Amino acid sequence: MMLSIFALFTSMFWFPKPEIVSKNVIDFLEFEKEYLHGEWNLSKILLSFTIPISFIALGLAFWKRSLIMSIAVVLLMATGKMVWSIQNAGESGKSILIPAILGLLICCGLIFYGFKRLEKK
């Protein structure tokens, strides 16, 4: 889990800068920047707690060695981000759908692979 978090935080260094960036992607990134720099009310603060709670839930799922619970948590995290993006950013929020779904499939595949390797030991 720590390796995947490290890879996520450092990914901007090992992926080349795209030559062409969609207007929707630029608009969505601008929306997220404005959202984070905007006023922090109780609703936004409570919503931000879903991030550490999600990682705690994922850690517990791994601790219990539950494949179903691990995949369910990752699925809920990704779905929540996609729904939030579309609901709040509109059309530009849809720009994350393909990368988010691809990332979700890769994560679920790696979790499945990891659990199957643990079963063999």
pLDDT at 62 over 90: yes
Q: What share of the chain is helix, strand, coil (3-state, %, to 5)?
A: 85, 0, 15
Q: With bands split at pLDDT 50, 70 and 90, how would you rate the model's confidence at 61? A: very high
Longest distance between any two alpha carbons in the chain, whole Å: 51
Going by pLDDT thresholds of 50, 70 and 90, the confidence category of residue 30 is very high
Domain assignment of residue 15, yes or no = no
pTM: 0.81
Structural domain harbouring 76: 22-120
What does the pLDDT look like over 41-55, one tens digit per residue?
999 999 999 999 999
pLDDT digits (tens, 9 = 90+) for 13-22: 777 778 888 9
The answer to whether residue 5 sits within a structural domain is no
Is residue 16, in this structure, part of any structural domain at all?
Answer: no
Tell me, yes or no, whether 9 lies in a domain.
Answer: no
